[in-house]
Chains A and B, each alone.
Chain A
Amino acid sequence: MTADEVRALADGLAQAYARERDVLAQLDAATGDGDHGAGMARGFDRARAATAEIDGDDVGAVLTAAGRGVMSGVGGASGALFASLFLALGAAAAGATTLETEHVVAGCADALSRIARLGRAEIGDKTMLDALAPALDALRAHADDALADALAAAALAAREGAVATVAMCARHGRARYAPEAGVGHVDPGAVSMAILFETWHDVARGGAA
């Protein structure tokens, strides 16, 4: 992906989260306070604007700008964590003019450990990590493939991971206080992570977001 394609990704994510805003709000309202949809829509709108404002063909710089936009726009716990993913991708791809699979593997690996540390969460705790971790495994399995192919596998794995959170007990955030710690409800952060990889795959293969 070129820097302009990363800008198109930010645009696609802004559209995707605006479209899914009410669905995410309803999922969040089941176990949390229902502000996840509004936060993601606001944050990725900010990310789209930030990537449009930054010139140049350095994909790392554009991803970092997206991370700063997400950071300032989402709020709550999930904003800082989604921002961490883009900041890690930006650091992994700093100076490159094309985003390659190896950058994405390195960035997602760094983001996974960073999100786990900041959120004090482990895999299986019913969080966005439960979508990000299988996506990373899929990316690693396709490390030698073109980015669009690796992302196809990652998007499927992220969605399966998100669906699997239905059976998990929440140990973090407000969901841990929900009846039976949210068992029976999908984790909205994991769903948002799946949407991210699905949109990314759409943009990378040149389709409409």
Chain B
Amino acid sequence: MRKLVNDPDRLVDDMIDGYVAAYGDLVSRGDHPRVVVRRRSKPRGRVGIAIGNGSGHEPIALGWIGAGMLDANAVGEVFAAPPPDLVLEAIRASDRGAGVLLLVSRHAGDVINAEMAVELARAEGLRVEPLLMYDDVSSAPKGREEDRRGAPGTTFVYKVVGARAEEGASLDELVALGSRVRDATRTLAAALAPGVSPLTGRPMFSLPEGEVFLGMGVHGEPGLRSVTSATADELVREMMPEILDDLPFERGDEVLVLVNGMGGTTLMELLVVHRSVAAVLEERGVVPYRPLVGSFVTTQEMAGFSISLCRLDDEIRRAWDAPVRAPFFHRPEEANP
């Protein structure tokens, strides 16, 4: 498949060039060309929020740099975690004198590089705490939650800790809050077609025609099972019990909802999926709060979607409502109910 690439070795740099040129009022390059930071740093004395991730999944995470969310993003090669020294640059760039929370989506490369970056940062005298994020119910059985992969439900963690950091929460409070959001979040994905690597031009995995894989990871990591569900309703009805019964979410619970597209599924389809999700929640007596529908965590043109739920409490609700001004996550103050 043909992709719009100038030079594969410069793909990530070209993307960042285009991003900071478009949104220079909100973001800029840090001291390192592969680190993107806010145009205006948050005030001193506030905890910084940093993350490193492989590229190819835009708009996450560089699209979420801005007031109310992230401070700095170390941008790795395509689908490869950024190296420790690059993550260290993002930690340094986020530090406003009150410590840094380093968000880590649980994938082998991300975890290893983040751990080494934390060691390097601490050796420099920086205060940093890593927060491992995992929410994919299909990647390890219940009871082994800490072995699960990070999936799009990590969105809830970004948003909530980002909001509370802006308000002046301490590093310890943010670690506890982020852990609580993670532990209250569950995600399941359905894959319909693979994405194509912009480096090789080849599909990243193959799927038998007509089959949908539940729980397949964004790089083709298998999950629960394949199904032949034909409609959005059938598929969502197959998926929702896996999510709801895992936490479990119970009658009367209020939940954040994210229906995330993987890049090759249209907003029209995602809205149809959300209709089915809302119907199942209503039957179960679970109450959605300000859901989010769109393609935020993508893998090129991979077709499919994920459903994430997070059980709310008052602090999480307030943080979800808080304003954000990032290029690809914009929640103005006045929009709050």
The reply to whether A77 and B109 contact each other, CB–CB distance below 8 Å, is yes
- Give the complex CA separation of A131 and B79 in angstroms: 26
Digitize A98-125: 1 where CB-to-B-CB distance is under 8 Å, 0 elsewhere.
Answer: 0000000000000000000011000000
Give chain A residues whose Cβ lies under 8 Å from the Cβ of B112: 77, 80-81, 118-119
The reply to whether A177 and B221 contact each other, CB–CB distance below 8 Å, is yes
Q: How far is the CB of B136 from chain A (nearest CB, A)?
A: 12
Q: How far is the CB of A21 from chain B (nearest CB, A)?
A: 13
Give chain B residues whose Cβ lies under 8 Å from the Cβ of A76: 54, 76-77, 80-81, 109
Stretch in A67-75, A152-160, A198-206 with 4+ CB within 8 Å of B: A67-75
Give chain A residues whose Cβ lies under 8 Å from the Cβ of B219: 33, 174
Q: Name the residue among A34, A72, A77 with the largest chain B CB count within 10 angstroms.
A: A77
Q: How far is the CB of B79 from chain A (nearest CB, A)?
A: 6
A95 within 8 A of partner (CB): no
The reply to whether A75 and B220 contact each other, CB–CB distance below 8 Å, is no
- A38, A79, A173, A177: which contacts B83 (Cβ < 8 A)? A79
Task: Tally inter-chain residue pairs, CB-CB below 8 A.
Answer: 72
B222 within 8 A of partner (CB): yes
Digitize B46-88: 1 where CB-to-A-CB distance is under 8 Å, 0 elsewhere.
Answer: 0000000010000000000000000000001111111111100
Give chain A residues whose Cβ lies under 8 Å from the Cβ of B108: 77, 119, 172-174
Within 8 A of B (CB), among A75-101: 75-77, 79-81, 83-84
The reply to whether A72 and B115 contact each other, CB–CB distance below 8 Å, is no
Digitize A43-76: 1 where CB-to-B-CB distance is under 8 Å, 0 elsewhere.
Answer: 0000000000000000000000000100111111
- Give the complex CA separation of A119 and B108 in angstroms: 7
B175 within 8 A of partner (CB): no
- B76, B80, B85, B200: which contacts A68 (Cβ < 8 A)? B85
- Give the complex CA separation of A83 and B204 in angstroms: 27
B199 within 8 A of partner (CB): yes
Digitize A30-48: 1 where CB-to-B-CB distance is under 8 Å, 0 elsewhere.
Answer: 0001110011000000000
Give chain A residues whose Cβ lies under 8 Å from the Cβ of B222: 177
Residue in B closest to A118 when the chains form the complex, CB atoms: B112
- A33, A38, A72: which contacts B85 (Cβ < 8 A)? A72
B154 within 8 A of partner (CB): no
Residue in A closest to B115 when the chains form the complex, CB atoms: A118
The reply to whether B83 and A174 contact each other, CB–CB distance below 8 Å, is no
Chain A interface main SS type: helix
Q: How far is the CB of B4 from chain A (nearest CB, A)?
A: 20
Within 8 A of A (CB), among B175-206: 197, 199-200, 204
Residue in B closest to A35 when the chains form the complex, CB atoms: B80
Interface size class of B (residues with CB under 8 A): 20 to 34
Interface size of A by Cβ–Cβ distance < 8 Å? 24
Give chain A residues whose Cβ lies under 8 Å from the Cβ of B221: 174, 177
- Give the complex CA separation of A35 and B221 in angstroms: 16
Q: How far is the CB of A28 from chain B (nearest CB, A)?
A: 12
- Give the complex CA separation of A75 and B54 in angstroms: 9
Within 8 A of A (CB), among B190-243: 197, 199-200, 204, 217, 219-222
B113 within 8 A of partner (CB): yes
Q: How far is the CB of B224 from chain A (nearest CB, A)?
A: 12
The reply to whether B217 and A80 contact each other, CB–CB distance below 8 Å, is no
Q: Name the residue among A75, A119, A173 with the largest chain B CB count within 10 angstroms.
A: A75
Known A-B contacts A33-B219, A72-B86, A76-B109; the reply to A118 vs B116 at CB < 8 A is: yes
Q: How far is the CB of B31 from chain A (nearest CB, A)?
A: 14
Q: How far is the CB of B107 from chain A (nearest CB, A)?
A: 8
The reply to whether B83 and A80 contact each other, CB–CB distance below 8 Å, is yes
Identify the A interface with B (CB < 8 A).
33-35, 38-39, 68, 71-77, 79-81, 83-84, 118-119, 172-174, 177
Identify the B interface with A (CB < 8 A).
54, 76-86, 108-109, 112-113, 115-116, 197, 199-200, 204, 217, 219-222
Q: Which 9 residue pairs across A and B have the least CB separation, nearest first?
A: A177-B221, A77-B109, A75-B80, A76-B80, A76-B109, A77-B108, A80-B112, A75-B77, A118-B112
Q: 21 A-B contacts, Cβ less than 8 Å apart?
A: A38-B199, A39-B77, A72-B83, A75-B77, A75-B80, A75-B83, A76-B54, A76-B76, A76-B80, A76-B81, A77-B81, A77-B109, A77-B112, A80-B83, A80-B112, A80-B113, A84-B116, A173-B108, A174-B108, A174-B221, A177-B221
